[in-house]
Amino acid sequence: MPVFLMKSLLSIVLFILALFAMFTMFEVFGKNGKIFDTEKLKKVHRVNGIVYSLFYLLIAYFCLDFILGTKAEPSPRAALHSVFALSVIILLALKVSFVRFYRQFYNQAKIIGVLIALLTFVMIGTSGGYYLLITKFGTNTPVKKVAASEEKPAGVKSAVRTNANSIKKGKDLYESKCYFCHDAYSNKAGVGPGHKGILKNPLLPVSKKPATPENVANQIRNPFRDMPSFSYLPDEDVLNLIAFLNTL
């Protein structure tokens, strides 16, 4: 299962936990005639909060692992997502401290709780929600095949390295930076399009620019749309990556 799909599915659990936490809080503080036992509800709310934190940490682990793996520049959407995620964890720590230690602030804990729930929805909406939408809930729509009849501009292959060492280095780089979002050996779309035949087809799958090494190098440095930029990669690495892509 792609790591993004797993994250998105886990975030649905987080979403439900946030809703449930709101419900228990409103039942405790928002009603006069109570149908549930208040002490029990508070316990449920606390356990709910702990489970929420554990799921949050698990998802955050996947996120950080991805960032460390790709060292990619985050897209604007991903940057926004991390700001919301950081706010959630800070507010959560604040709320727990109000309930446990700084009891004078106890009343504020309620409004912070509502804020945490709201930020949880935005945090998930800008990440898991987005991912599930564009992949139709993980049922990966294959990228449209381009017509194979069109000719590639002549002389294009001249710049591509073909020695085994470059290809090997390119493959290693690909496995550390690209495989999260791309499948090298098929045309199935993950977050980005599959890369099978990427330099053999006449056009690049998404931008529909000619499939030249120059355009691929450009995609790596200045992505067409949602792909993170790898502008920090030295020329050497980009050439090796292209040597590997050329074998697909």
Exposure string of 47-67, with b = 16+ CB inside 10 Å and e = fewer, is: ebbeebeebbeebbeebeebe
Rounded CA gap, 137 and 199, in Å? 29
Handedness of CA 84, 233, 173, 200 (dihedral sign): positive
Tell me: does residue 182 bind ligand HEC (CB under 6 A): yes
Task: Give the count of beta carbons closer than 10 Å to the beta carbon of residue 85.
Answer: 21
Instruction: List CB contacts of 120: < 8 A, sequence separation 6 or more.
Output: 14, 15, 18, 88
Nearer to ligand HEC, 88 or 227 (CB): 227
Smallest separation (angstroms) from ligand HEC to the CB of 218: 8
Tell me: does residue 198 bind ligand HEC (CB under 6 A): yes
Nearer to ligand HEC, 113 or 223 (CB): 223
Tell me: does residue 197 bind ligand HEC (CB under 6 A): no
In the list 68, 225, 234, 235, the residue contacting ligand HEC (rule: CB under 6 A) is 225
Smallest separation (angstroms) from ligand HEC to the CB of 180: 5
Smallest separation (angstroms) from ligand HEC to the CB of 118: 27
Tell me: does residue 228 bind ligand HEC (CB under 6 A): yes
In the list 113, 128, 194, 205, the residue contacting ligand HEC (rule: CB under 6 A) is 205
Work out the burial of residue 40: count CB atoms within 10 Å of its CB; fewer than 13 is exposed, 13-18 middle, 19 or more buried.
Answer: exposed
Sites for ligand HEC among residues 65-84 (CB under 6 A): 70, 72
In the list 95, 169, 171, 177, the residue contacting ligand HEC (rule: CB under 6 A) is 177
Tell me: does residue 167 bind ligand HEC (CB under 6 A): no
Longest pairwise C-alpha distance within the chain: 81
Which of 49, 44, 42 has its CA nearest to residue 96? 49
Tell me: does residue 191 bind ligand HEC (CB under 6 A): yes
Q: Which residue is nearest to ligand HEC (CB)?
A: 192
The piece of 82-90, 103-111, 113-121, 192-200 that touches ligand HEC (CB under 6 A) is 192-200
Let me know: does 199 contact 216? Beta carbons within 8 Å.
yes
Nearer to ligand HEC, 20 or 130 (CB): 130
Tell me: does residue 8 bind ligand HEC (CB under 6 A): no
Rounded CA gap, 145 and 151, in Å? 15
Instruction: List CB contacts of 121: < 8 A, sequence separation 6 or more.
Output: 15, 18
Nearer to ligand HEC, 136 or 225 (CB): 225
Which of 130, 238, 248, 247 has its CA nearest to residue 194? 248
Sites for ligand HEC among residues 29-68 (CB under 6 A): none
Give the binding site for ligand HEC (CB under 6 A).
Answer: 70, 72, 177-178, 180-182, 191-193, 198, 204-207, 209, 216, 219-220, 223-228, 230, 241
